[in-house]
Chains A and B, each alone.
Chain A
Amino acid sequence: MIRSGRTLTKSAGTASYRWLATAVLRAAAVILLVMTAVFFLIRIVPGDPAKMILGEYSTPEAIARMRHTLGLDLPLWEQFVRFVKTLFTQGDTGNSIIAGTSTRELIAERAPVTLLLIGMACIAAIVIALLLATLAATQKDKLLDHLIRIFPTVTLGMPIFWVGLLLILVFSVRLRWFPVGGIGEGWAGTLHSLALPAITVAFSQIPTLIRSLRVQMLEVLESDFVVTLKAAGIPGRVILFKHVVRNAALPTLMLLGVNISYLIGGTLVVEQVFGIKGIGSLLFTSISNRDFPVIQGIALYCAIGVVIVSLLIEILSWWLDPRTKGTS
């Protein structure tokens, strides 16, 4: 945005608040669109949901009753009003057809383990990516650097569930370091049994992180202030950890935030491989039970989570870097 010099300070201030307001409004608009999309999700599908729930050979009366329970016999706009109402009054997409309880409660029950897994995966991704990127950046153009740079090309085509299986084969079956699946007893047991799934989820994020981290680190390593520090006789290791790695940690976290959507998606799939009873397994049980309200609920909560995390990341980067204020 180009502004005249005299009013720069003042208008930059207003512009930045305007930017913040626009970002929040935009996120709110996307959340509303997400809600609408979730509403239409089961309606764009070919076939009758009531028939899908009850099976091919159900009687017309039973189908009519199910359509009534789901509210599918109402006109579309009335269904939508109902859907939005439940959403805002109960924060819910209706009751589960199978369990009869509220979708929100079902999701809340399963959410902790999934969130813990995502958290652990973030930590694993940051640690591994920082380590490899540091190695690559400090050994620039040597063998190790080339190997680490090939890594993203090779891993791009690796199905995440297959990586999980290979890790199980090596670390659980052969080395017996980790359990093959399920969740252990107590805190220590839980963390221990989630370690391998977390590394699997992290694996899908590491290539992207390494790519951008390596470039960033090289920039810092070749920057004037590092050269000055070196000239001042400060040992390379201290410079590396105190300045280079620390500067790179926050951007890594933010890059993970940008990719939160992939992180969640990967977690849902990896839960299946390791037999973890989180949101992923709830999704698949609901799918095989044709439990539409629960499927909608999971889609809604995941998407809202993604929108909120993306907004927070946007605000964080705006707050950290004044140069971006007023633009974008």
Chain B
Amino acid sequence: MKPITIDSPTPRNGKTGALSRLWRTPSLLAGSIMLAVLVLLAVLIPLISPYDPTKQDLSAFLQPPSAEHWLGTDQLGRDLFTRLIYAARTDLTIMVLAEIIPFCVGVFLGMIAGYYGKWLDTVISLITDTFIAFPFYLIVIIVAFASGAGQRGIYITFILVGWIVFARVTRGLTASFRRQEWVASARTLGLPGVRIMLRHILPNVLPQAIVVLMTDMVGLLVAIVTLGYLGIGITPPTPDWGTMIFDGQPFITTAWWLSAVPGFAVVYTGIALSLVGDGLADLWRKK
């Protein structure tokens, strides 16, 4: 990887350049389309569906899929498709918001650990080792429970544990850049460490960190859903894929789709995000 130079020649038709690059990276294109469809549905759902995601209609419970109810209704007579898309709103919003602080903190800590090395690096990597020793789901479950069910618990949990992945990736990259000539020459020029990190190292570690972010978001989404399923995540009646799967479990013999469909929604989102991640990795490698 080369450092980004100030006067990098940008093609005059920059926009079409980006577009044609998108076309040449099929996984990025496919992933972006899949995500766009989901986000569009989530935004437009009040216009698409005449149903309320939380209003119960006990006269219409456990109906199989039909023209009125595309995916049938649940045990409380709520339209499954409507709930599924409203749940996408809840889960995807939390997924994105809960990654912001861990991403920034992780990249920052990883960069200073990798750049300054020595005792700072030892301290930071001892802390990450300690966190990693706790099984992810164990710590997520305990912290989420202790900080109270609901969205607040989820945010606190991921602020505590989410930064580690990013710290590890950026630390390794920064340490390898540090040994390269262009950092060494910047240092001999007498540039301060902060400036070298922000202007020269950060632009080079960000792409890799963003690729990791995509995979990490899949893991985070699965964790949000798992907490919902275990009853310590999003609390009913707010629609969430995890609680939907849990609610459908008693009907697995008669109406299996109640639990299966929300799971497929998670898998769909997961595939979309991984494709975007793979695509971005390809794109930046080609460049």
Interface residues of A (CB under 8 A from B): 26, 29-30, 33-34, 37, 41-42, 45-47, 153-154, 156-162, 165-166, 168-169, 173, 261-262, 264-266, 268-269, 272, 283-284, 287, 295, 298-299, 302-304, 306-307, 310
Tell me how many residue pairs across A and B have CB atoms closer than 8 Å.
Answer: 136
11 A-B pairs besides A154-B267, A299-B139 with CB distance below 8 A are A42-B146, A46-B147, A154-B270, A154-B271, A156-B215, A261-B132, A262-B135, A268-B135, A269-B226, A287-B141, A303-B133
Interface of B, secondary structure class, is helix
CA distance A284 to B148 in the complex (A): 14
* In the complex, chain A residues whose CB is within 8 Å of the CB of B270: 154, 156-158
Interface residues of B (CB under 8 A from A): 126-127, 129-139, 141-143, 145-148, 215, 218-219, 221-222, 225-226, 229-230, 232, 242, 245, 249, 252-253, 256, 259-260, 263, 266-271, 273-275, 278
Q: Is the CB of A302 within 8 A of B134?
A: yes
* In the complex, chain A residues whose CB is within 8 Å of the CB of B133: 30, 34, 261, 303-304, 306-307, 310
CA distance A166 to B142 in the complex (A): 26
* In the complex, chain B residues whose CB is within 8 Å of the CB of A158: 222, 263, 266-267, 270
Q: Given A262-B135, A265-B135, are A157 and B273 neighbors across the interface (CB < 8 Å)?
A: yes
* In the complex, chain A residues whose CB is within 8 Å of the CB of B141: 268, 283, 287
Question: How distant is B232 from chain A, measured CB to nearest CB, in Å?
Answer: 8
CA distance A33 to B129 in the complex (A): 9
Q: Is the CB of B229 within 8 A of A159?
A: yes
The chain A residue with its CB closest to the CB of B144 is A287
* In the complex, chain B residues whose CB is within 8 Å of the CB of A306: 132-135
* In the complex, chain A residues whose CB is within 8 Å of the CB of B232: 287
* In the complex, chain A residues whose CB is within 8 Å of the CB of B263: 158-159, 162, 165-166
User: Residue A159 contacts which of B130, B134, B222 (CB distance < 8 angstroms)?
Assistant: B222
* In the complex, chain B residues whose CB is within 8 Å of the CB of A173: 252-253
Q: Is the CB of B135 within 8 A of A298?
A: no
Q: Given A159-B226, A165-B245, are A299 and B136 neighbors across the interface (CB < 8 Å)?
A: no
User: Residue B242 contacts which of A159, A261, A284, A302 (CB distance < 8 angstroms)?
Assistant: A159
Question: How distant is B81 from chain A, measured CB to nearest CB, in Å?
Answer: 18
Q: Is the CB of B221 within 8 A of A157?
A: yes
CA distance A18 to B197 in the complex (A): 33
Q: Is the CB of B221 within 8 A of A298?
A: no
Question: How distant is A241 from chain B, measured CB to nearest CB, in Å?
Answer: 33
User: Residue A157 contacts which of B132, B242, B245, B271 (CB distance < 8 angstroms)?
Assistant: B271
Question: How distant is A94 from chain B, measured CB to nearest CB, in Å?
Answer: 16
* In the complex, chain B residues whose CB is within 8 Å of the CB of A47: 148
Q: Is the CB of B218 within 8 A of A157?
A: yes
User: Residue B134 contacts which of A26, A153, A299, A310 (CB distance < 8 angstroms)?
Assistant: A299
CA distance A162 to B262 in the complex (A): 9
Question: How distant is B220 from chain A, measured CB to nearest CB, in Å?
Answer: 11
Question: How distant is B80 from chain A, measured CB to nearest CB, in Å?
Answer: 16
User: Residue A295 contacts which of B134, B142, B269 (CB distance < 8 angstroms)?
Assistant: B142
